[in-house]
Structure 1
Amino acid sequence: MRYTTGPGDATDLPQRFTFNPKEGIDNPTLVISDDTEPALCPRLCLLKREEGEGFGFYLRKETGCRGHVVQQVAPWSAAERSGLRDGDRVLEVNENFVDNQEYEKVVLKVQASGLQLCLLVLRAEDYELAVSEGMDLMALARAYRGEGCARPRLCHIIREPGCGLGVSIIPVEGERGKYYLNPVSEGPSEKAGVQPGDRLLWVNGVMVSTLTHSALAKMVKRSSEFMTIMVIDSRSEESYVRRRLPILPAFASVHNLPHRPKTLNLVQTPQGYGFLLRQEKLSSGQIAHLLREVDPHSPAELAGMEDGDLLLAVNGEQVENTAHEDIVSRIRQSGQQVTLTTISIQGRDYYTQLGFSPLLFYEPTISKTERFPELTLPRKDMHINLQCPRLCVLHKEGTGFGFNLACVQNKTYISQVAAGRAGERAGLRQGDVVMEVNGQNVEEEHFEEVLRVIKKGGTPLRLLVVERGGYETLRKSGLTVNPALISHSIQVPDSTQDHFL
């Protein structure tokens, strides 16, 4: 190939360059830099589940190691559909940075998320690299959202005499269902956190994108004493659109929301805690766990419990949709101390109207020292917690409980646990040895007899099980495998924690 540029000296002609695959490029003016490592790129996983279905993954925490680890993503689950993978490290839950938060708080954030959960995660290799190089993971998460992106805000506006709510709602011209706000200076809305130009997303739990301006005006007018709204600034809204992410209440920062949950730390006396736990149907038709008959001067009354309060969590773990018998069992397993999270009936009604759990923005304050008193076991047995018995309470679904049994060397064990079914939700694991069925010891029973006892037991079905390796360890230690060891599994300091979500 020859280049011509018109008249002139041959030295003016461009040089012809050749490429020899053995020697490389021979262009002296071409500089090739060393390949750089690709930038760490978090992934956004939006999990959507059906009512009564779990998200389909375990969240694990290893003591002494950073990070919350995703494990055992169930096939066909909401987690798998979202792109979540085994080994992923969770950086954010619903736009909240959680890498530096306690495991119990992270679990509660997931449990209270409702039917949609947003996780920002890093691959295991990327996470380990970032930690080893001392990278700022919070800055990495913030960079993913984009500069200047702020979370939506939940603002609780209390009407004031003379100025009402103190805000104008203005429709965006030519865009149906879009409105922006203009608060009165020093008025109730501005005090509640509303800023000029904010986009209005929903009012009292109703999305405004479905409302005409006249319908919206009527809704606001019907708000007698107060109104709770979700707003966002226009720049941040663009970030959510760019990431194709819906703007959910779970993402919001909160401003003076009323009826916050209460944390009650109770220490048992010889007379007990001094209250009754009852399962009742509310006027809305919802089944709830209510605290009743609070005894005067009892630990319950001294902690601030009031008759009619609703129970939300036990020891920081959500129990709103848990069977009554399971809640009683958890309280009893706590030993002499228990932490209850409660809310008033008015508070429950308020959050029901908004469409999310009152635990969504609750920060648990549970003292591990109080919850888990030191256990008088030999030091060599401090790892026994993963090998102690577990009481799994199963409620029958359709044709069964979602597990299969097998027998080896006259020991009945769980051979298979169906994903998402009653057995998995109750905590059964493949390989668990069955010790008791509904309180009856079946350790030495023949396989056919164990099956008969299970079929006869009905629902709920209570199985006392222990991991196969733990069973052998306990046998060698000389300890009798019985429900008395269950509390040990809660109290012994743990090297790992995991929770199915």
Structure 2
Amino acid sequence: MYRYGILLLKPFTSCDFCFQGLVEIIGLTEKFTFNPKEGIDNPVMVITEDTDSVPTPSPRLCVLKREEGESYGFRLRVERGRQGHIIRNVELGGVARCSGLQDGDRLLEVNNCFVDDVPHPEVARKIKLSGNQLCLLVLDVEAYEQAMSQGQDLQGLAKAHKGKGCKPPRLCHIIRDPVSGLGINFTPVEGEKGRFSVNLVTGGAAEKAGVCKGDRLVWMNGATVSDLSHSALSRMMKKCGNHITILVTDSESEKNYMRQKMPILPTMAVPHNLPYRARKLHMVSGPEGYGFLLQLEKAPSGRTSHVLREMDRGSPAERAGMQDGEILLEINGESVETLTHEEIVDRVRKSGQKVSLTSITPQGLEFYTQLGLSPLLFCEDDAAEKEKESCVRATEAEESAQKEMDGLRKARLCSLQKGPLGFGFNLGCVPQSPGTFISQVAFGGSGQSAGLLVSDVVMEVNGQNVEEKYLEDVIMLVKEGGCFLSLLVMDKTSYNKMKQANAPTRDATDSEQEEENCEISSL
């Protein structure tokens, strides 16, 4: 067991990152040659700087593709006395070199996102999260230095290269409506294999999820559709079940992407209606630390994760919005995927009195894993909301005492009437264990109107206690209620605290056996 009371954003010390992939050059840098003989016989000629005669620097688009486990074959650096994010150590015969990336190139964009003015660690993070395909917009050394000396707007230069009408794609999650279904179908673009136009049901699920009429389908449930026939796409639709995640773009933007020979990637997308998002939690250490446990756990799937557990009431962790059972993804912007439990604890110790954690629910991690995407691509930052402190409350001690008194009142009775979306929620459970929780709440449905929240623990169904019942039994009780349903629920953190307070003391043997199977740290 470890308990810490300090954590701070860890200063980033390294400015050298190694990446790996395949690049296509779009556009060439123009060269200007001055002829000294021109005008030499003119006695009134005055040599001045003629900015109109200097060509505008032309960026190059580099599209890198690598195989699983392969390196992109370059390093990204920040160097003292030099401006910009600099491409270095381009490996001979590597993906970057074969694609045209050159030593000294300055990085302007990563996957259509301007990064020249972005901190170096964040740029490196964007590249790492891109997966096995990456789009870089670069300027060579001379062009970059020329642009900087002339005070040119590099972001405007990047936009001019892409042209007008090149909007980011949209990653849309569609949940089937009981009446109108998914509200979407696809028509092949005539004469062009692997391109599909979107048709929508007006006011249907797809339209509500951010899909627009006439959009072009790029990607479905993790699979690029460019190599699919219409019949294969139809089979995929039939197998998708009650929900589907697609990547779409408008037809004009698609033309621009094709003109530039740029792939349309989920990493470029704006998310719409995604059911799960990773969250950033910012905490300042209190007198007794952060008030949560970090536990190494093995899921039934075999995946080992660092799990956030047992938030103390009124602790910095609870105030930051941490939820019991969430999986830790990052600490101070650094991925924990390859870190051991001890290494994470060490980083906590060295952070100072502040820490930033990125976490996601187990269901959310499974969602992104099935799509083949990193859950860190789409992240909510709760800092602004969670830092609000009420100056009118008496004292922290009084607030904590009041919370203790209100603990049992956190259970909520939610009355629902079946509508077009049914009851508008899904139930989930821990495999082979009793107890159920709300796993999904449909937007605009009865469940949302009644106040149900994702992760709420279901305590009673129509007045009958179901805390020790299995999912199948709970579903039967829900169905037996007909068109009306009454649920007694409690948020997961409060429920776990309540059960912990009422739980009998375990003997030493039980505790020792449990700790042999996991690593736990109090933070």
When the two structures are superposed, what TM-score results if normalisation uses the length of structure 1?
0.60
Is there any run of 5+ residues in structure 1 with no aligned partner, and where?
A: 1-20, 25-32, 371-501
Taking the TM superposition and a 5 Å limit, the aligned residue runs for 1:28-67 are 36-61=53-78, 67=84
C-alpha change, 1:101 and 1:270, in structure 2 (3 Å) is same
2:151 equivalent in structure 1 = 134
C-alpha change, 1:185 and 1:310, in structure 2 (3 Å) is same
Mapped contact 1:105–1:364 kept (Cα < 8 A): no
Is there any run of 5+ residues in structure 2 with no aligned partner, and where?
A: 1-37, 42-49, 388-523
- 2: CA distance between counterparts of 1:205 and 1:158? 16
1:362 equivalent in structure 2 = 379
Mapped contact 1:201–1:232 kept (Cα < 8 A): yes
Which of 296, 315, 326 is the equivalent residue of 2:332? 315
- 1: CA distance between counterparts of 2:232 and 2:184? 17
Shift of residue 41, structure 1, vs aligned partner: 1.2
- 2: CA distance between counterparts of 1:82 and 1:271? 54
Mapped contact 2:282–2:382 kept (Cα < 8 A): no
1:119 is aligned to 2:136: yes
Mapped contact 1:279–1:290 kept (Cα < 8 A): yes
**Percent identical residues:** 54
C-alpha change, 1:176 and 1:79, in structure 2 (3 Å) is closer
Aligned letter for 1:38? P
2:282 equivalent in structure 1 = 265
Name which of structure 1's ranges 39-48 and 278-287 shifts more when overlaid on structure 2: 278-287
C-alpha change, 1:134 and 1:321, in structure 2 (3 Å) is same
1:233 equivalent in structure 2 = 250
Shift of residue 77, structure 1, vs aligned partner: 4.4
2:511 equivalent in structure 1 = none
C-alpha change, 1:188 and 1:35, in structure 2 (3 Å) is closer
Taking the TM superposition and a 5 Å limit, the aligned residue runs for 1:337-356 are 337-356=354-373
Indicate the SS of the match to 1:359: helix
Mapped contact 1:47–1:81 kept (Cα < 8 A): no
- 2: CA distance between counterparts of 1:60 and 1:176? 41
- 1: CA distance between counterparts of 2:270 and 2:330? 22
- 1: CA distance between counterparts of 2:146 and 2:283? 44
1:143 is aligned to 2:160: yes
Aligned letter for 1:240? Y
- 1: CA distance between counterparts of 2:319 and 2:331? 18
1:189 is aligned to 2:211: no
C-alpha change, 1:42 and 1:34, in structure 2 (3 Å) is closer
C-alpha change, 1:158 and 1:66, in structure 2 (3 Å) is farther
When the two structures are superposed, what TM-score results if normalisation uses the length of structure 2?
0.58
2:265 equivalent in structure 1 = 248
Question: What is the total number of aligned residue pairs between the two structures?
Answer: 341
Shift of residue 352, structure 1, vs aligned partner: 1.0
- 1: CA distance between counterparts of 2:52 and 2:283? 60
Taking the TM superposition and a 5 Å limit, the aligned residue runs for 1:282-431 are 282-362=299-379
Indicate the SS of the match to 2:375: coil
Taking the TM superposition and a 5 Å limit, the aligned residue runs for 1:202-241 are 202-241=219-258
Shift of residue 364, structure 1, vs aligned partner: 5.9
Aligned letter for 1:68? H
C-alpha change, 1:365 and 1:72, in structure 2 (3 Å) is farther
CA deviations on 1:108-140 (whole Å, 9 max, x unpaired) are 212211122211111233223223323222221
Indicate the SS of the match to 2:366: helix
2:118 equivalent in structure 1 = 101
- 1: CA distance between counterparts of 2:66 and 2:123? 19
C-alpha change, 1:64 and 1:226, in structure 2 (3 Å) is farther
Radius of gyration: which is bigger?
Answer: 1
RMSD: 3.4
Mapped contact 1:89–1:122 kept (Cα < 8 A): yes
Name which of structure 1's ranges 353-362 and 295-304 shifts more when overlaid on structure 2: 295-304
C-alpha change, 1:46 and 1:171, in structure 2 (3 Å) is closer
CA deviations on 1:316-338 (whole Å, 9 max, x unpaired) are 22333444443333222212221
Indicate the SS of the match to 1:306: coil
- 1: CA distance between counterparts of 2:63 and 2:294? 36
1:465 equivalent in structure 2 = none
Aligned letter for 1:157? I
1:434 equivalent in structure 2 = none
Mapped contact 2:331–2:357 kept (Cα < 8 A): yes
Mapped contact 2:279–2:380 kept (Cα < 8 A): no
